[in-house]
Amino acid sequence: MTTARRRAAGRFFAALVTAVGSIAAAPPAHAQIEDPVQLDTGLISGGPVSSTGIRVFRGIPFAAPPVGDLRWRPPRPATSWDGVRAADEFGNVCVQPPGMGRLNIAVLEGSPPVDEDCLYLNVWTGAESPSEGRPVMVYAYGGAFTEGAGSVALYDGTRLAEKGPVVVTLNYRLGPLGFYVHPDLAAESEHGAVGNYGLMDVLAVLRWVQANIAAFGGDPDNVTLFGQSAGAMMVAVLAASPEAVGLFHRGIAQSAGWMGLTMTPMRTRAQTGQQGLEAAEALGAPTVAELRALPADEVSALRGAGIIVDGWVIPEDLTIVFEEGRQNEVDILVGSTRDEGSFFAEGPTAAEWANQVRSRWGDLAEEVLALYPPEQVAESFPELFSDELTWQMRLLGERQADTGNQAYAYSFAYTPPVDPGIPSLGAAHAAEIPYVFNNLGQPPLYPDNSSPELAAASGSGQALAELMSSYWVNFARGDPNGDGLPEWPAFHSLLDSPAMVLTEDAAPEAEIPIEKFTLFNTLYERQLETLAGN
């Protein structure tokens, strides 16, 4: 890995922590719902029906453009239109960097333009009539809350829609335009809230789904919100947000929980507001009015705060909400990849590692160092990160199961192929996405460095993609299991429920890492005591 890529990985990690049916299903009929489709804002006409019976409606506005005085405000309703609006091209991509020294698949050559006017969604459906009541799957992309788009080819919903559901992808505001915190913004909010504008965009999409998805043959009472990394964090936090009650019924969180990617208390508007004010002053525009007058590319010099406790969408640290069982009634499918931390090419030295562990773990440090020894720091550092994220995802599953919801857990342990000369990162962060969408031939999301061509040509990879996409679709119906699929057991407890290992030979894990999970549980209990004392 080059020095530039190592540095890019470090920057990406910093942003992450801050933000933080069956295979043999019958093929769909090629008849389609009538075009145009009536929405609550007007008529739209989609693209042609594919050979497999799927029609795509692209670039549907779900909110007013968040520009001018609407910058840093909750999304407002989209304006109605007369006549029939063409929905055959993706909408603008939200403002974001080109990739911080690496590939950003949301802004490739041929991608939609980058613009602050970017609140659009896309729908894939194979329904023949609005009365079919198909399950709905809404995807929120990852990208450290700084990049991504619903138009990315990797997230094309065709292969999932072929298995029955109506699939929705979306854009949400990113970086400082989506997650900026400034004290003056709270004063103008009717809720006294600030930040989380990108999260509010996802809520607006879920409300749009409730109002409109039946027109595409979808069931508004059977909605699954799924996402990876930053998108998975959105799934987790909205599963406990009072603003999301009844808007979705199942959630799939891939590699992130309500705490982000590591065990940490959620940050508040008080903790982030001063930083936002100081950044605005450094930009020469200390007031919100002056900031709104700046072009979007200049505002991009600010830094997004990620998801915070805003006092409205997230009224309090969700650690407490989940511990007290006050979260929403949402079934959950959660998991992570085996090698989540494999892209950290530059870690600490052995001495630095020992000091970091002792500083964080206190009197538990020697037990941790025995499991993650300093003399093997090159392996210990990414392994601890991976194990912690695994623990956190399963804790989310355990908490949902505790309140009577269905829960399932997985570990993605397949090693995708890489081109000659490219070091394999194993089952890296984001490596599962092509298999979930069954889109093996598309450029992967960073840091996954697998080869799309080799993945698409791999027999084992094709079989795994068929398996995983079927599991995901089946879960959207209520249970990941189905005819011809290896049995996936329900998940109840961190210490005695096996996760499903998703690889060439999918099966429940043979051994649960109880010793590691027990250590994480102990550290977590101490964090809870600290939160309770605040």
What lies within 8 Å, CB to CB, of 225 at 6+ separation is: 138, 140, 202, 206, 234, 235, 238, 248, 250, 251, 252
- Show the CA angle centred on residue 102, arms to residues 99 and 104, nearest 5°: 45
Q: Which of 116, 147, 162, 229 is catalytic?
A: 229
**Rg over CA atoms, the chain:** 22
Known active-site residue 429: yes
Known active-site residue 229: yes
**What DSSP line would sit under 72-85, residue for residue?**
TSPPPPPPP-SSEE
What lies within 8 Å, CB to CB, of 497 at 6+ separation is: 394, 398, 409, 489, 490, 491, 512
| Amino acid of residue 50 | S
| Amino acid of residue 268 | T
8 Å CB contact between 177 and 305: no
Cα diameter, the chain: 69
The counts of H helices and E strands in the chain are: 17, 13
Nearest by Cα to 177 from 153, 145, 217 = 145
CA distance 430 to 175: 20
> From residue 13, how far is each of 175, 339, 344, 424 by CA, in Å?
15, 14, 8, 19
Q: Which of 147, 243, 340, 398 is catalytic?
A: 340
Known active-site residue 340: yes
**What 8-state DSSP symbol labels residue 485?**
S
> From residue 485, how far is each of 297, 355, 414 by CA, in Å?
49, 46, 17
> From residue 156, how far is each of 55, 153, 206, 383 by CA, in Å?
12, 5, 19, 32
* Backbone φ and ψ of 294, nearest 5°: -80, 150
Write out the two tokens for 85.
Answer: 């609006």
For residue 13, give the H/E element and its range: helix 3-18
Q: By CB neighbour count within 10 A (0-12 exposed, 13-18 middle, 19+ buried), where does 97 fall?
A: middle
CA distance 168 to 206: 10
Buried b (16+ CB within 10 A) or exposed e, 457-475: ebeebeebbbbbbbbbbbb
> From residue 462, how far is each of 139, 285, 458 by CA, in Å?
22, 52, 6
Q: Which of 255, 300, 388, 429 is catalytic?
A: 429
Residue showing tokens 């080109």: 98
Which sequence positions are flagged as catalytic?
229, 340, 429
